Amino acid sequence: MKKAFFLDRDGVLNVEVDYLGNPDEMELLPGVPEALEMLHRAGFLAVVISNQGGIAKGLFTEKDTGAVHARMQNCLLRHSPLATLDAFFYCIHHPAVTGECQCRKPKPFMFEKAAADFDIDLSGSFMIGDRMSDLFAGRNAGCKESCLVLTGYGEKDREKAAAENFQVAADLFEAVQKLLKIR
């Protein structure tokens, strides 16, 4: 079985801009390509697990989201073929518009889908995000550890994450470094 780093997207891989639907506004955070290279060298997959409620709200379409992901991959590929993302899973719903759905984090559905699609051992895998809902999603999915990054909205939840016994790291690079040590 494979193991994975599950990664929230906005505020972890790219600069948080509140409802990113325009590929031209996609800006990678510093150290992200290097972090992805590091986790791939260690034999892990990089799987994006993201809530994109802006689709339910009509702020952008799934096609726009595909274009954002394509631009992300192109930017990463410019650094190195080892820096790319292996898969993208995202929830298109928003509770205020579409009501409860089965996939939105902190529910573990997207992790389970990824695990089934890619033969991933969740108990040997990690989750990294900038919100409590990301960390609880990783915990609900049975991941080994979840880590808050202080990029994006992370700084706001620093104490809450520590109080809930989650890992905390400055950014994606530091988070991957830290989690690889406790693998």
State the minimum distance, in angstroms, from the CB of residue 90 to Zn ion.
9
Query: In this structure, which amino acid lies at residue 150?
Result: L
15 binds, among Zn ion, Mg ion, none (CB under 5 to 8 A by kind): none
Residue numbers at the binding site for Zn ion (CB under 5 A) = 91, 93, 101, 103-104
Cβ(82)–Cβ(41) below 8 Å: yes
Question: Considering beta carbons, is residue 69 or 93 the nearer one to Zn ion?
Answer: 93
Binding residue count for Mg ion, defined by CB under 5 A? 5
For tokens 């031209």, the residue is: 24
What number of other Cβ atoms are within 10 A of residue 40's Cβ? Answer: 18
Q: How far is the CB of 125 from Mg ion (least distance, A)?
A: 18
* Phi, psi (rounded to 5 degrees) for 18: 65, 100
Give which of Zn ion, Mg ion, none residue 103 binds (C-beta under 5 to 8 Å, depending on kind).
Zn ion
Show the site string, 109-148: x = touches Mg ion by CB under 5 A, - = not. Answer: ---------------------x------------------
Side-by-side strand order, sheet with 167-169:
87-91, 44-51, 3-7, 126-129, 145-149, 167-169
Task: Provide, rounded to whole angstroms, the least separation between the CB of residue 28 and Zn ion.
Answer: 26
Q: Choose between 68 and 91: whose C-beta lies nearer to Zn ion.
A: 91
Is the CB of 13 or the CB of 55 nearer to Zn ion? Answer: 55
DSSP state of 108: S
Whether 127 and 49 have beta carbons less than 8 Å apart is answered as yes
> Among all residues, which ones are annotated catalytic?
8, 10
CB of 101 to Zn ion, least distance (A): 3
The reply to whether 157 sits near Mg ion by the rule CB under 5 A is no
Binding residue for Mg ion (CB under 5 A) from 5, 11, 26, 128? Answer: 11
164, HSE (Cβ side, Cα atoms, 13 Å): 19
Residue with tokens 């969740």: 122
Question: From the CB of residue 158, how many other CB atoms can be counted at a distance below 10 Å?
Answer: 12
> Which residues of this protein are in contact with Mg ion, per CB under 5 A?
8, 10-11, 130, 152
